[in-house]
Chain A
Amino acid sequence: MEEKDFKCLRCGAVNKYPYEKGKMIERQCPKCGSNSIRLIKEKSPDKDKK
């Protein structure tokens, strides 16, 4: 499974987690144990131009 960068909203730690579109996975921050793990979305080049 592909791995992507996620940010923990509780402690701010950035880690790689398995990711598959549409598939729900329980993720836990190894640093603080939180489940508030948010995918860091890459900005598309078009948006950057704007």
Chain B
Amino acid sequence: MMDVGRHPNINLMTYSQVESISGYVGNFHVKVQKKARYVNADECTACGDCAEVCPVIVPDEYQQGLSCRKAVYIPFPQAVPSASLIDMENCLGTNPIACGKCAEKCDKKCIDYDMKDEVIKFDVGTVIVATGMDVYNPTELDEYGYTKYENVITSMEYERLMSAGGPSDGHFIRPTDRKRPKTVGFIQCVGSRSEKCGNTYCSNICCMNTIKDTLLLKEHYPDIEAKVFYIDIRAFGKGFEDLFKRSKEAGVVYIRGIPGEIIEDPKTHNLNVMVEDTTANKIEEHEFDMMVLSVGVTPRFDMPEVQQLLTLSKTPDGFFMEAHPKLKPVDAPTTGVYFAGCAEAPKDIKDSVTQASAAAARAETLLSAGKVKLEAITSTLNQDLCRYCAMCSKVCPYNAFTVDPKNKTITYVEALCKGCGTCAAECRFGALSMKHFTDNQIIAQIDAHLAEDPQDKVIVFACNWCSYAGADTCGGARLQYPSNQRLIRTMCSGRVHEEFVLHAFRKGAPMVVVSGCHYVDCHYIDANRWTQKRVEKLWDKLEKWGIRPERLLLEWISAAEGQRFQKTMQDIEELRKQVTKEEIEYTIKVLTKEEEKKKQKLEKLKQKQ
């Protein structure tokens, strides 16, 4: 951290908050609010004299609330810059000055009560999101008595108690009597891997953190008895299994089973647990002086704000989603934005450093090239046809459009477009099209597929990344599916215009399928949500016109789901057989009539304008 602070090419902005980020790769405009420290950081020597005289005492966040700090303080010993700041929420007040003791005491006159927040604007080429994570708050788990029993602590509090710079100067003491405990129990997976409370995912780091904690405990106090309750130990990294063995050899007992409840003895404040040891297949009772809850990792509380700033998407567990889990693990779906550390997923220090190095290298590659290769498949805008309805700006997952309906202006940044085609599918005025996937090109494919015996064919719109790849997986695995399915590839299911579906029905298709990625896999952040909305509207329209909505299906098939693709296509073939000749004829008749009506409406509109 010191190196970063001193580096001539790094501008470290601490105690600051990013207010907005606009623009695109190579041209991001950033606005940062630099909060007032009320202490001149350049002059402050971090002598701590101001904190000594400050009368305000508040819980110290860095020490997990186990000790206190003053209103004027240094956030933590290694903080960069090494300078104090005043916590104005807790200071007795500066207008008028209620106390002023810190200013009186400071020989260098660093205290400045008139300091104001600053807004700094600058441009950057790339952005690395390294916003970190939070830890699970176990207060909701009544059974572990974290809020009732002082001797139940979290793994973060344990870290502080064991640290030489901690509230007890590195002496491991139990909170109720300030004495060294003789027995310590660790409960794993608190807030992780649970369907009922906390999070369903594995937090990745807790097993190794506990193993490290027990080794530390045994190194400092070999006489302390330590027992770890676990579901299974996930020691999968390099050297991790050795560390686990070392912990066991040091005398730490590992019991496979999670206690259901912690009960405190009110006299001794000792903690009793009952657990089913699933290895020994018996119920056991244990008594401890202290219990450590190995709490999991959660996404940071302010992730929604960061998500909005950079138009990022999240996975169901709440962490940021990468552009591709295997091929682009540090890239965000927005070009020029990269991830490092737990913002993307829970990970340990080694993985965070690896990812951070990769992110830095990816950013550097882009910056040093000086030029950016953009998608060849992007939308094209015909401004003459645009009616400034702003639908494109609403549906674009990358904010490539800015529309002002009042002043009738539209700005389209092609560099931001990733080519999902949702805008082209939603534009009612034909102002937007997609390079290589124009309306005419897709309509021509439909016409070609249905030129002969349309009643025997099924038109399947498949997205490039998932469904089409799923069909490929199906074929690669030699799984048989009906040969009358006609696949039309689009980059995203969001590109499938309502008119494509209706055109296929007009041409005599008995069944039409729109398929794309599962919600979590969408390669265009959330473009496939618009597909679903469109299909739902189409079901209503078809029903209104007396056409069975069952003839239009929506299916999410991932690239790995070859079998699912096969099953879906087999089921659809059965449904196709049920569509009668009369039904198809009726559909053609009704939809042709509706098309005529639509054309007449458009003509009238044009004449009015």
A interface residues (Cβ-Cβ under 8 A, vs B)? 9-11, 24, 26, 28, 32-36, 38-39
9 sample A-B contacts, Cβ–Cβ < 8 Å, listed by A number: A9-B539, A10-B571, A10-B575, A26-B519, A26-B556, A35-B554, A36-B553, A38-B539, A38-B549
In the assembled complex, the CB of B176 is this many whole angstroms from the nearest CB of chain A, namely: 42
The 5 closest A-B pairs by CB, nearest first: A24-B529, A26-B519, A36-B553, A9-B550, A35-B556
B532 touches A34 (CB 8 A): no
0/1 string, B560-588, CB within 8 A of A gives 1: 00001001100110010000000000000
Q: Main SS of the interface on chain B?
A: helix
Assembled-state Cα–Cα distance A35/B536 (Å): 11
Which of chain B's residues 588-609 have a Cβ closer than 8 Å to chain A?
none
B518 within 8 A of A: yes
B549 touches A9 (CB 8 A): yes
What residues of chain B lie closer than 8 Å to A26, measured between beta carbons?
A: 518-519, 556
Q: Which of A10, A11, A34, A35 has the most CB of B within 10 A?
A: A35
CB closest chain-B residue, reference A41: B540
Give the interface size bracket for B toward A: 20 to 34
What residues of chain A lie closer than 8 Å to B529, measured between beta carbons?
A: 24
B533 within 8 A of A: yes
B348 within 8 A of A: no
A24 touches B539 (CB 8 A): no
Which of chain B's residues 500-542 have a Cβ closer than 8 Å to chain A?
518-519, 526, 529, 532-533, 535-536, 539
CB closest chain-A residue, reference B564: A33
- Knowing A9-B539, A10-B575, A34-B553, say if A24 contacts B533 (CB, 8 Å): yes
Q: Main SS of the interface on chain A?
A: loop
In the assembled complex, the CB of A1 is this many whole angstroms from the nearest CB of chain B, namely: 15
Which of chain B's residues 353-406 have a Cβ closer than 8 Å to chain A?
none
B interface residues (Cβ-Cβ under 8 A, vs A)? 518-519, 526, 529, 532-533, 535-536, 539, 549-550, 552-556, 564, 567-568, 571-572, 575
What residues of chain B lie closer than 8 Å to A28, measured between beta carbons?
A: 556
Assembled-state Cα–Cα distance A39/B549 (Å): 12
What residues of chain B lie closer than 8 Å to A24, measured between beta carbons?
A: 519, 526, 529, 532-533
A36 touches B564 (CB 8 A): no
Assembled-state Cα–Cα distance A1/B55 (Å): 48
Q: Which of A26, A32, A36 has the most CB of B within 10 A?
A: A36
Assembled-state Cα–Cα distance A26/B533 (Å): 11
What residues of chain B lie closer than 8 Å to A38, measured between beta carbons?
A: 536, 539, 549
Assembled-state Cα–Cα distance A24/B24 (Å): 28
In the assembled complex, the CB of B155 is this many whole angstroms from the nearest CB of chain A, namely: 33
What residues of chain B lie closer than 8 Å to A35, measured between beta carbons?
A: 554-556
What residues of chain A lie closer than 8 Å to B535, measured between beta carbons?
A: 36
CB closest chain-A residue, reference B529: A24
Assembled-state Cα–Cα distance A1/B22 (Å): 35
Assembled-state Cα–Cα distance A41/B568 (Å): 26
In the assembled complex, the CB of A14 is this many whole angstroms from the nearest CB of chain B, namely: 14
B555 touches A34 (CB 8 A): yes
CB closest chain-B residue, reference A28: B556
In the assembled complex, the CB of A12 is this many whole angstroms from the nearest CB of chain B, namely: 8
What residues of chain A lie closer than 8 Å to B533, measured between beta carbons?
A: 24
What residues of chain B lie closer than 8 Å to A32, measured between beta carbons?
A: 571
B518 touches A36 (CB 8 A): no
CB closest chain-A residue, reference B530: A24
B567 touches A33 (CB 8 A): yes
In the assembled complex, the CB of B574 is this many whole angstroms from the nearest CB of chain A, namely: 10
B553 touches A9 (CB 8 A): yes
